[in-house]
A and B are shown apart, each in its own frame.
Chain A
Amino acid sequence: MRKIFLLLMLSSIFAQRLDPVDLAMQELRTTVEIASRSSMKVFVEDFTGLN
């Protein structure tokens, strides 16, 4: 019983956590998915450059 409790404790302590960027990515993906179902479109023009 003590071993199981210890295992549970370790599992929760070392559980994987999503960093804020991952969470933002997930949220953005969900939004885009909803948008794609309703045929809404978003247009982005990037003015950019590197050399």
Chain B
Amino acid sequence: MLDEFPETLVNIEWHSPSYTPGGSDFDLPSLYSQRGNMYGVGGIPHSQWQGVENTVGGYPNANWSPMYNAFLPIYNSFVGNSTPYDITINGFYNTDENEVSYEVTVSMDEDMSSTQQKVDIFVVEDNIWSYWGAVGQYHNARNVARDWITNDGLGLDISLSGETQMFTGSFDVSSAWDSENVQIIAVVQNYSTPKQVYQVAQVNINDMDPDVDDDGIMNGDDNCMNTYNPYQSDVDGDGVGDACDECNDIVYVLGNINGDADISGDPIVDIYDILTLSDVIGSGETNPCMEGIMNINGDGSVNAVDVWFLIQIVINGTN
């Protein structure tokens, strides 16, 4: 079923150090115990669903087929849940260096608190055909954990619809692995109890796109990763290319709340900004470009006092 629905079912196999095929390199003792402790794993086999539900135990002789009856209601309980998160994984597999550079991008289409939300990135190897002495059979081990790159999670700072956050890094592909079957799995997980997983994505390292917008600039170096801009123009020098910089820092400066500019492209701070700021404070409706340019007196909060300060700036012409 993993093969039939690779976009829907995502799994990681963590192999107990005490029970791995003889001579295999499946065991990652410290990572196994760290991840297992997150869920209170004791006896195996233990399946942790979406971080919050578990089934413990199996059927003799590694016959997993009857477990579908136990898995079905758990699976059904998660299908249909909505999530505000989307994850995309891109990057580049340098076969000469046996190194993978990755970019995991998390985006949101609904507001949600980011408290305790973390991003974890794993490396797994799929389809490892091994002989398992206990049952005297060969088995195809799926998505065997090879590394937990973000050991203990990376903080997710975004919480508003439309926001994105990128996590970049690299790892080496061991010569003991079959690089054709190495995959990156990224999850958004809440680290408070229960450890709910809100989104997951996976990609084979050979299927990643190193230049998403085809502008000749690799993703990691591109100041507009998703927008074709081969010249990388960035007039305000904020690291975000003009082609995708909605809030140009030359126009959106302190006090220029409505973001208007004169014929030379210089910002205009006038009575209309006072009115816009008053409207924003009254209605609470703002946009990302206004953030950081409304707090005129620099006290960290935007309120009527800022309007008064802005009036002084307009009257005195001291913007």
State A40–B135 Cα separation when bound (angstroms). 35
Number of A-B contacts (CB under 8 A): 134
Report the interface size for chain B: residues with CB under 8 A from the other chain.
54
The chain B residue sitting closest to A41, CB to CB, is B200
Minimum CB–CB distance for A6 against chain B, Å: 37
Query: B19 to chain A: which residues have CB within 8 Å?
Result: 48-51
Determine if A42 and B9 form an interchain contact, defined as CB atoms under 8 angstroms apart: yes
Size range of the interface on A?
20 to 34
State A20–B67 Cα separation when bound (angstroms). 12
Query: A39 to chain B: which residues have CB within 8 Å?
Result: 7
The chain B residue sitting closest to A27, CB to CB, is B72
Determine if B72 and A21 form an interchain contact, defined as CB atoms under 8 angstroms apart: no
Tell me if B44 counts as interface (CB < 8 A to partner A). yes
Tell me if B80 counts as interface (CB < 8 A to partner A). yes
State A49–B8 Cα separation when bound (angstroms). 24
Grouping DSSP codes into helix (H, G, I), strand (E, B) and loop, the B interface class, with mixed when no group exceeds half, is mixed
Which one of A31, A45, A51 lies within 8 Å of B133 (CB-CB)?
A: A51
Minimum CB–CB distance for B48 against chain A, Å: 4
Tell me if B102 counts as interface (CB < 8 A to partner A). no
The A30-46 residues at the B interface (CB cut-off 8 A) are 31-36, 38-46
User: Which of A33, A36, A48 has the most B CB atoms < 10 Å from its CB?
Assistant: A48
Tell me if A9 counts as interface (CB < 8 A to partner B). no
Minimum CB–CB distance for A20 against chain B, Å: 7
Determine if B47 and A45 form an interchain contact, defined as CB atoms under 8 angstroms apart: yes
Question: In the complex, given contacts A40-B80, A41-B201, A43-B51, what are 7 additional A-B residue pairs having Cβ atoms less than 8 angstroms apart?
Answer: A24-B69, A28-B75, A32-B8, A41-B10, A47-B44, A49-B16, A49-B19
